[in-house]
Structure 1
Amino acid sequence: MNGRWWRLANHVFTAAFVVALTVGLVLFVRAQDWTPVATLAGQLDPLRVTAALGAALLINAVGLLLGLASWRALFVDLGAAVDKWTAYRLFFVGFLAKFVPGRFVALPVLLRMGKEIEVGPVRLAGVFLLSWAVVAMTGMTVALAAGPALLSGATGWLLVATVPLVVLVARPDLLNRGLAAAARLLRRPPPQVTASPTGIRRAVTAQSLSWLVSGHHLWLLAVVAGAPPGRSYLICVAGFAAATVAGLSVMIAPDGLGVREAVLMLGLVTVLPVAVATPVVLVSRLVCALSEVAVGGGGLLLAQYMHRRRRDPVQRVAPVG
């Protein structure tokens, strides 16, 4: 009987999360004015536009998978003795939750999933906190690389951009210390879980690669729209990291809607007219949303299937006679 109620609760939680996710996606689509995109697309070669969109979707999907590798490095490092598909289920639910207004709707789902695999809320919260810290630090570090393009060739910014990552790889314990110091400053209890140097190095490396790869989708879209390839390269690749981190910091808007666009516009208007930069930013948002839903939704379905396949015992039927 308990098993039946547990499965029923599982379906209810899952349905509620799907409904909230759908509402978030609908709000995202309705909040955008797609007229500038249609106008710009009508002025460009349709084949070139189609090829650029397909390549941009693929590029961003690869970047997302590298982000998954970063999260799993911390999850495994913190002692979660589960297989990779079980870990991926947690990641994809937390990942898709950013489309949900308020995001906290997914919290009961994550806690239930963690309890199911004997991962307590403290450890689960620790993984997501450390992961967010790695995402934010690596994203803002990559963002510094936009300096030479925005500050008229100040190449010294490229050296500045490498310093935080080099320090973090050389002294990964500084991340744990930084989180503890932030907790003291905010008068909060210190984190009860810490990652090992090896886990942090793996997470930092994978997440840094994720930023570098993902930013190329914006550069490709900007070049197709007429931006100079050389000058726009760092603005797009590094600026995308800065804009995404800024969007992630705003909890009340689904996926940082509006915040990320504002930050991207600050960089793109230096290489494109405002009338062209606006649709590029909108298309970038669309590319990110489509690739994230495809990777997140497809990954969650696959992980759910593999998790159940490994968890449920194989039913053997004895031969008759």
Structure 2
Amino acid sequence: MTADILRVRLGVLRRVATVLFGIALVVGVAVALRDADWAAVRDLAGPAELSLLGLALLVNSVGLVLGMLSWRHLLAGLGSPVGVWTAARIFFVGMITKFVPGRFWALIANIRMGRTAGVTPARMATVYVLNIAVMSLTGLTVGLVAAPSVLGGRGGWLLLAALPVLACAIRPELANRWAAALARLLRRPAPAPAGHRDLRYAIAAQAVSWLVAGLQFWLVAVAAGAPPAASFPVCVGAFGLAAVVGSFVVFVPDGIGVREGILMVALTGLLPLPTAGAVVLVSRLICTVSEIASAGVALLAAELIRRRARPPAPAVPAGTESPAGTELPASV
């Protein structure tokens, strides 16, 4: 088999895989929203409520961008700095793979896209694991503010999540030691030590990302009639806690059902049960739309930048032969 034929076949396989992935993504999103009670959402369709929901959509998109910047700082700290739009393309495509059945699609997508950006698979795998750790620990730490409302007296264990976050913020080399130990466990080469400054930035950006995402949930709850002051700490903390706990449940995509259950418990003291259900459903829809839209914007922007950076094809002088071997007329 010649190299040209192999290249063509690999290109066809990549296109087929891309189409299949897109179909799986659409099916995954449909399954995520299939069993929802949309009748309960009608009460949130007034002009005032819709303006708050639009603001919630914008706020959640800002939270996603902060999460991407946290991931980018981790990658830069490991010695592989990439541009913002390159990071956004890799991060958001990996993020929306959570709707596809299977746990490690994000890692596979990150490794494949990282190669095109000059990042080694080992480094992409390291940043994948570090990012999960940073997201989980900061999300549980933000969840501390809602623990009394959600878990009652059993929420004290969440204090343990704050300790590693504080320790890594004060002594970032601890994260490097953890990554090296993980590499030894997996029998992989030890990753390059992450820069202390980038680690601190990553932790701070991810913590703020959870706070902003919780603000999205609070805006939806206020649109449904929740008292603004009393619901703010509950909504902000419960969202981070529910999202992290839901991500640990590997047999459902994006913690569907688990996240909603925790958020429903948090809202029962603030809203009637049907209204709380509508808030949780609308929040899930806002998150899904903003995630897919962010991925689309990142991919489109990255492609436009790539095309602008592509050098123009050299002009063929008039009267010379074209690459196909035919003589071009002088008027071309």
TM-score tier after normalising by the smaller chain length: 0.7 to 0.9
Residue in 2 that maps onto 1:209: 208
Residue in 2 that maps onto 1:95: 95
Residue in 1 that maps onto 2:18: 14
Residue in 1 that maps onto 2:324: none
* Cα displacement (A) at 1:96: 1.0
Give me the CA root mean square deviation.
3.0
Residue in 2 that maps onto 1:245: 244
Q: Is the 8 A contact 1:143 1:239 kept in 2?
A: yes
Question: What whole-Å deviation, never above 9, does each CA across 1:157-183 have from its counterpart, x for those lacking one?
Answer: 999997654433111222334456678
Q: Is the 8 A contact 1:150 1:267 kept in 2?
A: yes
CA separation in 2, counterparts of 1:248 and 1:55?
25
CA separation in 2, counterparts of 1:15 and 1:217?
32
1:293-312 alignment runs, 5 A limit? 293-307=292-306, 309-310=308-309, 312=310
* Cα displacement (A) at 1:284: 0.8
Match of residue 44, structure 2, among 35, 38, 41:
41
Whether 1:74 and 2:74 are equivalent positions in the alignment is yes
1:18-29 alignment runs, 5 A limit? 18-29=22-33
Question: In 2 relative to 1, CA 315–5 (structure 1 residues): closer, same or farther, beyond 3 Å?
Answer: farther
* Cα displacement (A) at 1:32: 1.9
Which 5+ residue runs of structure 2 have no aligned equivalent?
A: 319-329
CA separation in 2, counterparts of 1:317 and 1:118?
30
One-letter code aligned to 1:254: P
Could you state the TM-score of these two structures normalised by the residue count of structure 1?
0.85
Question: What whole-Å deviation, never above 9, does each CA across 1:31-51 have from its counterpart, x for those lacking one?
Answer: 32222223x337xxx111111
Residue in 2 that maps onto 1:64: 64
* Cα displacement (A) at 1:112: 2.9
Residue in 2 that maps onto 1:286: 285
CA separation in 2, counterparts of 1:288 and 1:178?
32
CA separation in 1, counterparts of 2:248 and 2:90?
21
Residue in 2 that maps onto 1:113: 113
CA separation in 1, counterparts of 2:274 and 2:260?
14
Question: In 2 relative to 1, CA 177–224 (structure 1 residues): closer, same or farther, beyond 3 Å?
Answer: same
Q: Percent identity over the alignment?
A: 45
CA separation in 1, counterparts of 2:307 and 2:124?
21
One-letter code aligned to 2:255: G
Q: Is the 8 A contact 1:142 1:211 kept in 2?
A: yes
* Cα displacement (A) at 1:30: 1.3
CA separation in 2, counterparts of 1:189 and 1:266?
42
Could you state the TM-score of these two structures normalised by the residue count of structure 2?
0.82
Question: In 2 relative to 1, CA 149–258 (structure 1 residues): closer, same or farther, beyond 3 Å?
Answer: closer
Question: What whole-Å deviation, never above 9, does each CA across 1:232-256 have from its counterpart, x for those lacking one?
Answer: 1111011111111112222232211
Which 5+ residue runs of structure 1 have no aligned equivalent?
A: none
Look at both structures and tell me which one has the larger radius of gyration over its CA atoms: 2
Q: Is the 8 A contact 1:126 1:192 kept in 2?
A: no
CA separation in 1, counterparts of 2:80 and 2:24?
28
Number of corresponding residues: 311
* Higher relative contact order, chain-length normalized (CA < 8 Å, sep 6+): 1
* Cα displacement (A) at 1:7: 3.5
